[in-house]
Amino acid sequence: KEMAADLLRIEQLEVDFEGFKAIRGLDFSLQSGELRFLIGPNGAGKTTLLDVLCGKVKPSKGKVRFKDIDLSKHQEHQIAQLGVGRKFQAPSIFITLTVQENLLLSMRQKRGLLSSLVAKTTPEQRDKMKYYLHMIGLEHKAKDKAGSLSHGEKQWLEIGMLLIQEPELLLLDEPAAGMTDSETEKTGELLHKISDQQTIVVVEHDMEFVRQFAKTVTVMHEGTVLREGTMQDIQNDDKVAEVYLGR
């Protein structure tokens, strides 16, 4: 890959919850096209970092630049419009609609609620819907009600609903949580497939999943970055072992 400008650049970030610093002096950057795993013990600040990136939590200090935009100056809905998509752990699909209706609705939602209710589907939109349906591996369930999907399939549908809005940065919180082994495996493969076109940050607690699918990892500890590198570097790092074992 050729050298690209950072898609995301965070400098000396601080997040203060009534006197408690959940993030302290954090520097973090990402280049376009990366698939970065964010790991670290409980309370390290991983979720808070995602919350800052999607505008749910405001920094008390520091810079958060996405392309050339200062994200700290924008509200959550604006940040979504600017191209940051966030998937939370609990699925937010419409269970009484079909899989393809969920995708279409999400695609139209990007242009505002009114257009999502009244618009007709254009051939281009249908093509796009089919493209993402294929990507998440749910073509054979296109006309099934979302409520009838398995837990894993619901998660993939939700990822598809984010992808169809074509964010530049995708934030995922434990995408494989609660999945069966085969669903977990498919999720890992899906992340790699997506990362051909999209920059992704994944917060993950399941170390088996991380070992299997992560190439580059950022380890957080006590609100800051402890280590960053390839999975192999991280696995052989004494300091990382120490914070995980709590020695």
Q: What is the contact surface with ligand ADP in residues (CB under 6 A)?
A: 17, 20, 22, 40, 42-48
Instruction: Give the nearer residue to ligand ADP in terms of CB position, either 10 or 22.
Output: 22
Shortest distance (Å) from residue 78 CB to ligand ADP: 21
Instruction: Give the nearer residue to ligand ADP in terms of CB position, either 40 or 175.
Output: 40
Token pair recorded at residue 137: 């591996």
Q: d(Cα 206, Cα 84) in Å, to the nearest integer?
A: 24
Q: d(Cα 47, Cα 17) in Å, to the nearest integer?
A: 13
Shortest distance (Å) from residue 242 CB to ligand ADP: 17
Q: d(Cα 204, Cα 178) in Å, to the nearest integer?
A: 12
Token pair recorded at residue 196: 């051909």
Q: Which residues does 133 contact at the CB level (< 8 Å), separation at least 6? A: 99, 100, 103, 139, 142, 160
Shortest distance (Å) from residue 22 CB to ligand ADP: 3
Q: State phi, psi for 170 to the nearest 5 degrees.
A: -115, 130
Q: State phi, psi for 230 to the nearest 5 degrees.
A: -75, 160
Shortest distance (Å) from residue 23 CB to ligand ADP: 8
Instruction: Give the nearer residue to ligand ADP in terms of CB position, either 48 or 198.
Output: 48
Instruction: Give the nearer residue to ligand ADP in terms of CB position, either 46 or 86.
Output: 46
Shortest distance (Å) from residue 139 CB to ligand ADP: 34
For residues 216 and 229, is the Cβ–Cβ distance under 8 A? Answer: yes
Shortest distance (Å) from residue 17 CB to ligand ADP: 3
Count of other CB atoms within 10 angstroms of residue 154: 19
Instruction: Give the nearer residue to ligand ADP in terms of CB position, either 42 or 182.
Output: 42
Instruction: Give the nearer residue to ligand ADP in terms of CB position, either 17 or 131.
Output: 17
Give bridge partners of residue 171 from the DSSP assignment.
Answer: 86, 201
